[in-house]
Every structure is written in C-alpha cells, then in structure tokens.
Amino acid sequence: MDVRKRIKVLRSVLKHLNGMIRALSALERDPPIVKIANMQRADEFDHPVFRDMERELMSHLRKANEYRGNYWKVENSIKQSFLSFMRKKGYLPSISLEIDSLKNGLPEAMVRDDPRIWVYSYDQYIGAIAERVGRNKKDAPTGQDIWNHFEIKYRKEILCLLTIANECLPSIYHLKSKIRAWIKEPEKDWNMLHVKRPRVTPIERPIRRTFVIKRPLPLSKVRPPRKKILKKPEFHEIGPEEKR
C-alpha cells in the first residue's frame, strides 16, 4: 500500500479515537465506534500492513461497545421506571410533552450526576402535568425527591458504566500514541512501535458544565398535520342501459 494512503487511513482512525475519548470522558451514550466499524466494512484495513493494528483496534472497540450497550440498557430502564413512578403517583397524563421531555432527559443527567437542569425542569413542568390529570401540583413529589429515589435505585448500574469507561480510556490513549508514532515512522512494523503508556486521570462524577439555567428542558415540537388538497371529483353521467 502506498504510504500516503496508509497515513490517510491512520489519520481517519486517529480522528475517530479522539471522538471516542471525548465521548467517554463526558460519559456520553454513543462513542463513535460505528465509524471505525464502517471503515472495516469498507475494507480500508484490508492490507497485510494493517493486520496487527486492526486486531488491537477491534479489541478496544469491543470494550467500548460493551459500554455503549450497557448505557442503552440503563437508559431504557430509567425511562420506563420514571413512567411507572409517575403512573403510581397519579401524575401521568395519557399525552404530555412535558413528561416526554423529562423522561428523555433523566438518564443522561443521572449518568453524569448533574441534577440541576432536570430538577429545575420538573418543578417548572409539574403544574401543567398536574392540570392534565386533574390534581393539585402541591401533592406531587418534588423534582429533588424523584432524583434522590432514582439515584439510589440506579447507583450500581451507573457505577458499572463509569468503571467500563475508565477501563477503556487508558488503552485508547495508548493506541492513539502508537498510531501517531506510526504516522511519523510509517516504515516501521506495528509490533516494533514502543510508546509509553500515558497516565490517564480517571473520570469522576459529577460531570458538570458551567452555564446559567434560564429555561427548562425543551419540549419537542409537534408539527401540525399537512392539509391535503383534495381535487374536485370528476362526475360522469351513467344512464340506464337501452332495452333490446
């Protein structure tokens, strides 16, 4: 394989590895492992020079995919548990954009251990939710009460996610260092590249961004149905058949 083509492939892998580091460090749901998998499906690694690197790369992807799969399970479980909780308390309208927004925002907030926006949003929306079910919002649980309930319930699963992410990051950083070294010295064999394993600071919760809360979680927009333009029907006169 031409050296330029090889370096182009390596730079693409490096770009996606950086995306994985950013996603895992922020405890996001979807590190871009699919993009690297698509490179494999497109046979971009289909050359003997990439064989050992591909084997090492895929082993790291499997670990990251374990994180992604566990995140999906935790996310869906939290969503369903939230709906069940609100139904049990008698504050679950049949249709509610506020409930949908709170349900979708709760898992990410819990994984990052950042209740600020979610609790604020719940306390802003509970009035409209209570009105739809014909109840007094003063009798509803507060946002902090709900947060504390689910924080205890899902602590073990979320800590498991954190553990997997902290296991993935050092190996991804090491792989990234090897690829960068290979770009500088493309004539070397992959197994002959020796780089120091970097020290990676473990991820710690809470993961919080600095911002000023001005609005609650946004409600999903409901588009009005398009008006169908009906054409004027055509009429044909059909007379009785002539008797023979």
pLDDT in tens, 13-58: 999 999 999 999 999 999 999 999 999 999 999 989 999 999 999 9
Q: What's the angle, vertex CA 172, arms to CA 43 and CA 163, rounded to 5?
A: 125
**Does residue 218 form part of some domain?**
no
**Does residue 83 form part of some domain?**
yes
User: What does pTM read for this prediction?
Assistant: 0.83
Domain with 136 in it? 3-192
**Does residue 91 form part of some domain?**
yes
**Does residue 152 form part of some domain?**
yes
d(CA 40, CA 95): 43
**Does residue 78 form part of some domain?**
yes
For the chain, what is the domain count?
A: 1
**Does residue 42 form part of some domain?**
yes
CA distances from 10 to 14, 78, 103, 149, 182 (A): 6, 38, 40, 46, 8
**Does residue 208 form part of some domain?**
no
Amino acid at 96: S
Q: Is 204 left (phi over 0), alpha (psi -120 to 50) or beta?
A: beta
Given a cut of 90, is residue 126 above it in pLDDT?
yes
**Does residue 241 form part of some domain?**
no
